Amino acid sequence: MVTSHEDTHEDTHEDARTLAALSTLLDRVHLITPGQLPDALAEAAAQLGWSAVLYLVDYEQRVLVPAPAVGVSGRRVQGVDTTLAGRCFRTVEPMPWSSARGRGVWLPVLDGVDRLGVLEVGLPEGTDLDDALCIQRCRLLAHLAGHLIVAKGPYGEGLTRIRHRKPARWPRSCCGGCCRR
């Protein structure tokens, strides 16, 4: 395979942009709560000309719930068994998509073997969804998201609440509601 100097220069430029975005994300997460992580991911993606929306799986593993982020609205819950996002979650493989609203890729969000959800990355028009290097750059953001979710988890309930779809149920044996305080 012959690559031109122009292709090599473009790849180097994209590598540098990706490194800068991930470095900014890592620098920022030291001071945020778990509930602010979706915003930090979206900001890192924006540095690359992408959009990013984090979806977390509920504890019953039936649906993927969009995590609230500034400037992101209109995202719907995705069924684990009925959607492309769910297929990505189940198979732990990237799933490229293209629609009237744009193009991008669904990526699994993992921490080790724990499947936490998916990251929807929207890519600029004209992006080649078959470009392995582009998908690898997107995967870096999704991998980092998984590790950060777990690392930030003990410091707040912002993401945990999203995963609880039903209100907490107290045991019938509880005396006088003392556990509810």
pLDDT digits (tens, 9 = 90+) for 38-93: 999 999 999 999 999 999 999 999 999 999 888 777 789 999 999 999 999 999 99
User: What class does CATH assign to 11-165?
Assistant: alpha beta
- Of 5-9, 20-24, 99-103, least confident by mean pLDDT is 5-9
Q: How many CB atoms are located within 10 Å of the residue 105 CB?
A: 25
Please tell me which residue, 28 or 119, carries the higher pLDDT value. 119
Q: What is the DSSP letter of 127?
A: -
Comparing CA positions, the residue from 158, 90, 85, 167 lying closest to residue 119 is 85
The pLDDT-based confidence of 162 (bands split at 50, 70, 90) is confident
The pLDDT-based confidence of 153 (bands split at 50, 70, 90) is confident
Per-residue pLDDT at 33 exceeds 80: yes
- Note the Cα 43 to chain centre separation in Å: 12
pLDDT of residue 2: 46
pLDDT of residue 1: 46
CA distance 118 to 107: 5
Are 133 and 13 in contact by the 8 Å Cβ rule? The answer is no
Mean pLDDT of 87-105: 95
- Percentage of the chain exceeding pLDDT 90: 64
pLDDT of residue 6: 56
